[in-house]
Amino acid sequence: MPTFDHMKHLALLRITALVGITFLHLLPTFAQESQPAAPRKDTRPFSERIWFGGGIGLSFGTVTAIQLDPLVGYKVDPKGKLSVGLGASYWYFRDNRFNPAYDFTAYGHRTFTRYRFIQQAYAHVEFLHMNVEGNRFGALSEVRPRIWVPHLLVGGGYVQPLGGRGSIYLQVLYDVLQDPNSIYFNRGPIFSGGVGIGF
């Protein structure tokens, strides 16, 4: 005949088993509730995620200057605030006021990040790598081998919509690295502008 202690142990065992079975039954529900929500799928078409832009500078005469800076950007977030991108750059400069004439050619590539605080303004960080003639500020008789020169440009800009997907932008940047062979002749702020499609 079972004793009182034995019956007490059986009752506790049954209660424990019942609680365990109930917990195991509810476990999937707890697991579902504790899992973080799946990230929302980006439904933007690819054409709305990318944008094109850049600048063109042309000047002919005693001083000839040609500058081509095409770029393409990708809007990382659905709201289009953060963009990353890349581009190319080509510069040609010739000053016929000197004898012999002074000429300069540079080409390279860039990667950049832009963040729009508001619709009309953005912050800009860019790494620009340009191939130039080294020692080009020295005497013309000196050897000027071509070298790659790094530029780290930091600043911001203003965007003015033109209607549709078009816009123009003006920006002020500063070269943090200040390499002696920088393509920017002065050491102050760099003013530039361009056109954007979809930015």
Which pTM does this prediction carry? Answer: 0.71
What is the token pair recorded at 29?
């529900």
- Torsion-angle region of 37 (φ positive above 0: left; ψ -120 to 50: alpha; else: beta): beta
d(CA 126, CA 149): 14
The CATH number assigned to the domain with range 49-197 reads 2.40.160.20
| Tens-digit pLDDT profile for residues 19-69 | 343 434 444 444 455 555 555 666 777 778 899 998 888 888 888 889 999
| Tens-digit pLDDT profile for residues 151-177 | 999 999 999 988 888 899 999 999 999
SS (HEC) of 90-109: EEEEEECCCCCCEEEEEEEE
What is the token pair recorded at 156?
């911001």
**Phi, psi for 40 (deg, rounded to 5):** -70, 135
Sequence spans of domains, the chain: 49-197
